[in-house]
Amino acid sequence: MKSNFPVRKLALAAVVAAMYTALSYVAYTLNLAFAPVQFRLSEALTLLPFLFPETAWGLFVGCILTNLLSQYGAVDIVFGSLATLIAGLWTAKCKNKWTAAIPPVLCNGLIVSAVIAYAESGFGPAFLSAWGVNILTVALSEAVLCFIPGALLITALQKSGAAKRLGAHA
């Protein structure tokens, strides 16, 4: 029986979207999803495009669904979600799991922190200092989630053989 890979890839992206959203909603209920120090365990999933490029789109959809709850409004829905998409597409091009953690850290550190800084001060004189502080806090929390549980997830998928069974490209 011939496997239908496009359907499998779409299904995997959809499952990742659901997982990202569910984990983010848990963070939201714990007041950890939207702030200068964000601790969404769902961000560990942002390394999945390293193994499965199609999951970048699932992460994007999951982030949109999550950011519907954001106190930063449409700006976060658009730019926060685009940060996740850009990071996912970039992560898919990475050569190893350690460099795969860099795109989400940089994209969220730069883009999401700008969303927060804009919400805090607009584009007034305080924007640059608010952005600088938020770059540090957002990037640091993202780095913790990507380099620890994210890298552990990728390692577990590779060592267990699940990545290969699911058609991973790395």
User: One digit per residue, pLDDT tens: the chain, 170 residues?
Assistant: 455 568 989 999 999 999 999 999 999 999 999 887 889 999 999 999 999 999 999 999 999 999 999 999 999 999 999 999 999 999 999 999 889 999 999 999 999 999 999 999 999 999 999 999 999 999 999 999 999 999 999 999 999 988 888 878 76
The conformational region for residue 156 under phi > 0 = left, psi -120 to 50 = alpha, else beta, is: alpha
**In the block, residue with structure tokens 């989400």:** 104
3-class DSSP assignment, residue 3: coil
Rounded Cα gap, residues 89 and 8, in angstroms: 19
Walk me through the domains of the chain, giving residue ranges and CATH numbers.
7-165 (1.10.1760)
All residues at 6 or more sequence positions from 48 whose CB lies less than 8 Å from its CB, including other chains = 16, 55, 59, 153, 154
DSSP 8-state symbol, 124: S
Q: Alpha helix locations (H) across the chain?
A: 5-29, 55-67, 74-75, 81-91, 97-100, 102-107, 113-121, 127-145, 151-160, 162-165
Full-model pTM: 0.92
Rounded Cα gap, residues 57 and 93, in angstroms: 14
